Amino acid sequence: MISGPPRGMRDFYPEDVRLRNWLFGLWREVSESFGFQEYDGPVVESEELYIRKSGEEIVGQLYNFEDKGGRRLALRPEMTPTLARMIIARGSSLPKPIKWFSIPQCFRYERMSKGRRREHYQWNLDIVGAEEPTAEAEVIAAAIEFLKRVGLTRDDVVVLLSNRRLLSALLKSKGLPQEKFPDVCLVIDKKGKVSDADLHAMLVDIGLSEAMIANLFDVLRIESLDDAERVLKTAGAPLAPLDETRKVLECLSHFGLAQFCRFDISIVRGLLYYTGPVFEFFDADRKFRAICGGGRYDNLLESYGGERVSAVGLGFGDVVVTEVLADKGLLPDFSSGLDYAVIPFSEEQRKVATEIAQSLRSQGRTVTMSLETKKLRKSLSDADRAGAAKVIIVAPDELAAAKVVLRDMKSGEERAIPIADLCAP
């Protein structure tokens, strides 16, 4: 006896695929309306693509293995390294800015607590080769556009924004040694997910003094960009990271989206390659994990041997948003969408029934046909269970008059209609 899918993986039955296709269809539609082009890479990549630095959760959770040729491979945990590799391979032949999107399935070998999965699909939007905060605004606006199209409003969703350069400047003004900053980011990313006591312990672990930890918690209490400005000014630090953050918000106001967005110093993201503005979307009640997130990465392509080029990316998983939509009753009802079932009364009528089915199909209708002749009641029940809206019964009496019986499955109404009416070109 064969069991279900491997632990943490999903089967997609037709009703699940209908949901998935609806989601992916909207992601594609929004991406294309913003001028993004779709790309994709292999679901299995070289492991080295993901071996950046220790500390990141994503590296510890790599779904990696050795193939028969002794190659170290991994199921892709995220798409950005593939994007970087593909862009580098094409060199300068790609006109910049590059605006690409993708909907890869991504894998993490997580411990299987709390019903978490080992795979999800992730809508990725990236703009490579754009220095200005207009790029952040563009990907955030696209993600909000998607949320609006599925029926979520600014009462349902909040976009929290911050900036690693700003956080770095603030912490530096409070005495944090620069080399500690990456580790500090990975710890701060856990804020809200673990207790403040655990957070404190993690900060001790990475070698911060009690005084520094107290300063760090002070910084995390900053509530506005104006507050941040006062701290930086007091320290005589440069204000560029502050201006950059304000510019992202200003660009979003051009989209009429300022009211979706709020500064939140504790947003840092869990990936080391972010260097500037970062953001995460949450449901307003904070009942769920982040809906999506992203930020600017300046050094990733260079770290893979490409030129230094600034980029902005956003990753948007299929799982959390589906949970949010289900919670709010916003998931559509996905019917099978079958227009017709054609039932030949006996094998004598199969040829005509086939021709009618084929004609309807050529007109763009979705049509199934009984593959064997049974008692009519049984065939009608099959058609009903298959979800057919209408049934066409091809029976000898009507056929003699070049007609068939058309039955509406909802009303139960039946009438004989000329075949020519169905098969009009």
In the complex, minimum distance from the CB of residue 356 to a copy of itself, in angstroms, rounded to a whole number: 11
Residues 16-45 that bind a copy of itself (CB under 8 A): 16-18, 20-21, 32-35, 37-45
CA 162 to chain centre: 21
Q: Which residue, 149 or 233, has its beta carbon nearer to a copy of itself? A: 149
Q: How far apart are CA 104 and CA 123, in angstroms?
A: 7
Contact indicator for 264, 161 with CB cutoff of 8 Å: yes
Does 202 interact with a copy of itself (rule: CB under 8 A)?
no
Residues 370-399 that bind a copy of itself (CB under 8 A): 371-372, 382, 385-386
Q: What does the CA dihedral 227, 231, 234, 236 come to, rounded to 10 degrees?
A: -120
Does 85 interact with a copy of itself (rule: CB under 8 A)?
yes
In the complex, minimum distance from the CB of residue 239 to a copy of itself, in angstroms, rounded to a whole number: 19
Contact indicator for 323, 372 with CB cutoff of 8 Å: no
For the stretch 408-412, contacts whose Cβ atoms lie closer than 8 Å and that sit 24 or more positions apart, written own/partner, are: 409/383, 409/384
Work out the angle between the directed axes of helices 240-254 and 134-149 (0-180°, nearest 10).
40
Q: Which secondary-structure segment (H or E) carries 87?
A: helix 80-90
In the complex, minimum distance from the CB of residue 68 to a copy of itself, in angstroms, rounded to a whole number: 6
In the complex, minimum distance from the CB of residue 11 to a copy of itself, in angstroms, rounded to a whole number: 5
Residues 121-160 that bind a copy of itself (CB under 8 A): 127, 130-132, 134-135, 138, 141, 145
In the complex, minimum distance from the CB of residue 10 to a copy of itself, in angstroms, rounded to a whole number: 7
Residues 236-255 that bind a copy of itself (CB under 8 A): 251, 254-255
Does 51 interact with a copy of itself (rule: CB under 8 A)?
no
CA angle 245, 134, 255 (to 5 degrees): 95
Residues 254-283 that bind a copy of itself (CB under 8 A): 254-256
Does 76 interact with a copy of itself (rule: CB under 8 A)?
no
Instruction: At 396, list the tokens.
Output: 């000898």
* One-letter identity of residue 322: T
In the complex, minimum distance from the CB of residue 318 to a copy of itself, in angstroms, rounded to a whole number: 13
Q: How far apart are CA 288 and CA 324, in angstroms?
A: 7
Residues 283-322 that bind a copy of itself (CB under 8 A): 304-305
Residues 325-354 that bind a copy of itself (CB under 8 A): 336-338, 341, 350-351, 354
Does 86 interact with a copy of itself (rule: CB under 8 A)?
yes
CA nearest 353: which of 395, 398, 413?
A: 395
In the complex, minimum distance from the CB of residue 288 to a copy of itself, in angstroms, rounded to a whole number: 24
